[in-house]
Amino acid sequence: MISKKFIVMAIAVLLLLLTACGDDSEADSESGGEGGGGYPEMTITFSHNQPIESPEHVGATKFKEVVEEKSGGNIKVEIYPASQLGSLREQVESTQIGEINITMQPSAVVTPFVDDVKIVDLPYLWPKEAEKKYEVLDSEVGTEILDTLESGGFKGLGFWPGGYKLFTTQDTKITSPEDMKGLTFRVMESPLLISQYELWGANAIPVPYAEVYNSLQQGVVDGQENPLQTIFLNNYHEVQGNIIESYHGTMTYLLMANQGWFEGLTGDTKKLIKEAQVKGRDDARKALKETEEEYRQKIKDSGVDYYELSDEEVEKFREVSEPFHKEVYNKPEQLELLKKVKEKIAETQS
């Protein structure tokens, strides 16, 4: 017969083994486990507007790589670049209703849905140095801007780079706001950008991104604004005689998810997406920095008149533009956020 002492010892050993297994299982769940055991099987739809040669797509590819690798293949990421899932506005709408999980869109395109994010597009607000701009956007006040997206049904994940916007025109070399008078500029569908050009004496009309080249070529508009990489990759310099490096605004992309979808994810999955967005964002910023000088030189070599505004010329635009900030970003909570942003910018300059 088996002694009672032996039975008690066997039960104790069994309980110890079960406890150890339970601890290992819990640890795997919290960390994602080997082979992604802690992550559900799912597919994330990720859309953006830029071509596959762009820094934005470099970042999106990194995001996909991190998510799929860290989840052990349980989570797949399907990237749809170059507006494959619709126009810029349509992609925002599809994300809002949950047809797209994650999208990367210029802040200006999002402002009709969430007015508070137009702070990103205020003219002559941001430092000329990209690293200082990133320092502000990646700070607590940047998180406050992202959090305003929730009022539109989005979850703000991060700020991705597009570069500083330049003016381009067919015939007019712009060195001051006076040179803008009577010109028509293409802008994104943003009331703020339309008002910005009216402030400078120009007319502005929204033109879909896919139609910008033809609109410039056919003279529907006299000029447009976009960063170097967009001008080069879309060949706008072929149909514009003047490229003016003005530093008047930043093309900043908002990486954002459908809020209901994101909030329904497991804690581990949310953490992984946030980690992947930082990796993707940083890769995109690095790629932009590495390619901008190449794009700038190739545009210059094409024979256009390439001009960079002097500090004195920038100051003329700044003097006209500064009062505009509080005129258009004028709700009490907006004024408070603008104050925090300007304080953070000043901190980076000290």
Query: Given this model, what pLDDT does residue 350 score?
Result: 87
pTM of the predicted model as reported, rounded to 2 decimal places: 0.88
Residue 15 forms part of a structural domain: no
CA dist 70 and 67 (Å) reads 5
Residue 182 forms part of a structural domain: yes
Task: Please provide the DSSP assignment of 59-73 as one string.
Answer: HHHHHHHHHHHHTTT
Query: Given this model, what pLDDT does residue 200 score?
Result: 98
**Which pair of structure tokens corresponds to residue 193?**
């950008």
Q: What is the mean pLDDT of residues 116-122?
A: 98
- Residue 327 sits at the vertex; the CA angle it makes with 89 and 137, to the nearest 5 degrees, is 60
Residue 13 forms part of a structural domain: no
pLDDT digits (tens, 9 = 90+) for 10-65: 444 444 444 444 444 333 333 333 345 589 999 999 999 999 999 999 999 999 99
Please report, for the domain that includes residue 121, its CATH number.
3.40.190.170
CA dist 339 and 116 (Å) reads 14
Residue 328 forms part of a structural domain: yes
Residue 31 forms part of a structural domain: no
Residue 277 forms part of a structural domain: yes
CA dist 131 and 137 (Å) reads 10
Give the residue numbers spanning the domain of 138: 38-349
Helix (H) or strand (E) holding 167: strand 154-169
Helix (H) or strand (E) holding 30: helix 4-31
CA dist 213 and 164 (Å) reads 19
Helices (H) and strands (E) in the chain, counts: 13, 10
Q: Give the amino acid at 162.
A: G
pLDDT digits (tens, 9 = 90+) for 171-224: 999 999 999 999 999 999 999 999 999 999 999 999 999 999 999 999 999 999
Report percent pLDDT > 90 for the chain: 89
CA dist 107 and 282 (Å) reads 18
Number of domains in the chain: 1
Residue 24 forms part of a structural domain: no
Residue 22 forms part of a structural domain: no
Res. 283 pLDDT band, cuts 50 70 90: very high
Could you give the dihedral angle defined by the CA atoms of residues 64, 69, 73 and 79, in that order, rounded to the nearest 10 degrees?
Answer: 10
